[in-house]
């Protein structure tokens, strides 16, 4: 299940923009990453998804089963190989880089159709179009999302990848928010399929 909405529209949409591909080398840092870090806007190199495509995805009904929230537990998995780990983390870094750019169409390119369908499905069509038509806006330093650390990437039994990502978010009074992200490899790209807010609270040990 995708991340549960805590706010009504338009705050829910703003939270998506501010929160949280086979990432190519242009989307990965040239030197080993140091954390904590607020990914720079220059890391947002993904192409924009057409607005019409998101609208079409939104209008595809979500199944009843997918619409029912379920209790979350961190799924069992096995350690991912180095290539998968690098690609998954590069996708998530780019998610936050694009969030710091404030470009909703490029930001949306890093999420799966299922995530977008579930998130935008309950929002009026005109409001979705108005939001996605907003020009990019760079956020000040104190409004940027900061990645504190990544947990170990695990390959799940269904072929997806999961990991804990610990964040420092300006709209959360805590210094650390441990979320759990699940990504799916679609057409050769790792895309965010689910984000469970506080889903990593039971295990926040950082990767070595």
* Model pLDDT for residues 99-117, shown as the tens digit of each residue: 888 899 999 999 999 999 9
Q: Grade residue 166 by pLDDT with cuts at 50, 70 and 90.
A: very high
Name the phi and psi angles at 62, rounded to 5.
Answer: -90, 135
CA–CA distance, 165 with 153 (Å, rounded to integer): 10
Looking at residue 67, its pLDDT comes to: 54
Q: Which residues contact 36 (CB under 8 A, 6 or more apart)?
A: 146, 147, 148, 149, 168
Average pLDDT taken over every residue of the chain: 81
Looking at residue 69, its pLDDT comes to: 62
CA–CA distance, 165 with 96 (Å, rounded to integer): 12
Looking at residue 24, its pLDDT comes to: 36
Residues 92/181, Cβ–Cβ less than 8 Å: yes
Q: Grade residue 205 by pLDDT with cuts at 50, 70 and 90.
A: very low
Residues 96/177, Cβ–Cβ less than 8 Å: no
Note the pLDDT tens digit of each residue in 176-185.
999 999 999 9
CA–CA distance, 2 with 9 (Å, rounded to integer): 16
Task: State percent of the chain over pLDDT 70.
Answer: 76
Q: Give the pLDDT mean for 139-144.
A: 86
Looking at residue 30, its pLDDT comes to: 42
Q: Give the pLDDT mean for 51-80.
A: 81
CA–CA distance, 145 with 119 (Å, rounded to integer): 20
Q: Which residue has the higher pLDDT, 70 or 165?
A: 165
Q: For residue 201, is pLDDT > 90?
A: no
Nearest to 196 by CA among 143, 157, 160: 160
Looking at residue 172, its pLDDT comes to: 83
Looking at residue 202, its pLDDT comes to: 52
Name the phi and psi angles at 131, rounded to 5.
Answer: -65, -45
The kind and range of the H/E element at 166 are strand 161-168
Looking at residue 29, its pLDDT comes to: 43
Q: Which residue has the higher pLDDT, 162 or 119?
A: 162
């Amino acid at each position: 299940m995708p991340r549960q909405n805590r706010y009504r529209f338009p705050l829910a949409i703003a939270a998506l923009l501010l929160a949280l591909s086979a990432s190519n080398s242009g989307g990965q840092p040239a030197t080993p990453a140091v954390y904590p870090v607020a990914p720079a806007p220059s890391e947002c190199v993904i192409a924009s998804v057409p607005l019409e495509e998101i609208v079409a995805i939104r209008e595809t009904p979500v199944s009843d089963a997918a619409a029912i929230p379920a209790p979350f537990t961190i799924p069992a998995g096995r350690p991912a190989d180095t290539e998968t780990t690098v690609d998954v983390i590069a996708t998530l870094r780019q998610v936050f880089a694009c969030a710091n750019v404030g470009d909703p169409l490029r930001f949306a390119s890093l999420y799966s159709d299922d995530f977008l369908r579930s998130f935008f499905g309950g929002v009026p069509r005109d409001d979705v179009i108005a939001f996605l038509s907003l020009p990019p806006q760079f956020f000040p330093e104190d409004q940027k999302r900061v990645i504190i650390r990544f947990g170990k990437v695990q390959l799940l039994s269904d072929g997806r990848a999961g990991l804990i990502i610990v964040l420092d978010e300006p709209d959360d009074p805590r210094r650390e928010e441990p979320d759990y992200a699940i990504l799916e490899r679609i057409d050769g790209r790792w895309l965010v399929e689910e984000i469970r807010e506080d889903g990593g609270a039971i295990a926040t040990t950082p990767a070595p």
